[in-house]
Amino acid sequence: MKRRIITTADGSKTIQIEDWNEQYHSTHGAIQEAYHVFIKNGLSLFKNQDLSILEIGFGTGLNSFITFLEADKYGLKIYYNGVEAFPVQKKELTQLDYSKALKADQFEQQFLKMHQIPWEAPHDITDNFCLLKQKMDFRDIAESEKYNLIYFDAFGSRVQPELWTEDIFRAMYNTLKINGVLVTYAAKGSVRRAMQTVGFTVERLPGPPGKREMLRAKKEE
């Protein structure tokens, strides 16, 4: 499918799939959205502990990189598993230029390392951040009670409805530890109901710029 790099409202860039009119991030601000959904409403709930995170859609590595940049602030030692079936191209990463957009040029090497490490084996990016990238379909995830936090960042249900089903959320529920949390930018009623049906307790939270709401789901005891 045809892809191009576009600039979003906060000045940061994202990838657009032209045939779908769908973006990797919000056109209202890619970096703002990532911080709001995944850091403010996800990562920041956890402090001073070892934390295992599953990302559904590693893509550009933006969420992985901002998690790495924020980990120290919350005293976290992170094990991060990014699942992705269709890795982004190197030239797209160069054009996105996230280190500069995040004013984190000094960590450019760590961002590049996240993309350069081989798939299917965990690698230390630093002492406090270990990354495993798995090239696979989300629908094949079958681990149980492994993660504290899930960043559910698939393309929207308008274009990939098969990734927002009860079956997928059941697998997400099973792969979370007790008290684990899933955050997503989505807010659709059908998505919320699918989460509730498989056992999650779901909160509707204010969304990032340009979006009224987002969802946070918890696996309670």
Ligand X SMILES: C[S@@+](CC[C@H](N)C(=O)[O-])C[C@H]1O[C@@H](n2cnc3c(N)ncnc32)[C@H](O)[C@@H]1O
What does the binding site for ligand X look like in residue numbers (CB under 6 A)? Answer: 24, 57, 59-60, 62-63, 83-86, 137-138, 153-155, 160
Contact 34, 69 (CB under 8 A): no
In degrees to the nearest 10, what's the CA dihedral of 143, 144, 148, 151?
40
- Would you state the torsion angle of the CA atoms of residues 109, 112, 114, 119, taken in this order, to the nearest 10 degrees? -140
| Token pair belonging to 96 | 């996105």
Distance of closest approach, residue 93 Cβ to ligand X, in angstroms: 10
- Nearer to ligand X (CB atom), residue 108 or residue 162: 162
- The whole-angstrom separation of Cα 208 and Cα 65 is 19
Residues whose CB falls within 8 Å of the CB of residue 37, separated by 6 or more in sequence, listed in order: 151, 153, 183, 184, 185, 207, 208, 214
Nearer to ligand X, 215 or 221 (CB): 215
Instruction: Give the shortest CB-155-to-ligand X separation in angstroms.
Output: 5
CA atoms within 13 A on the CB side of 17: 14
Q: Compare residues 76 and 114 and give the one whose CB is closer to ligand X.
A: 114
In the complex, minimum distance from the CB of residue 78 to ligand X, in angstroms, rounded to a whole number: 16
Residue 110 amino acid letter: Q
Beta carbon nearer to ligand X, 127 or 142: 142
Q: Of the two residues 154 and 195, which places its CB atom closer to ligand X in the complex? A: 154
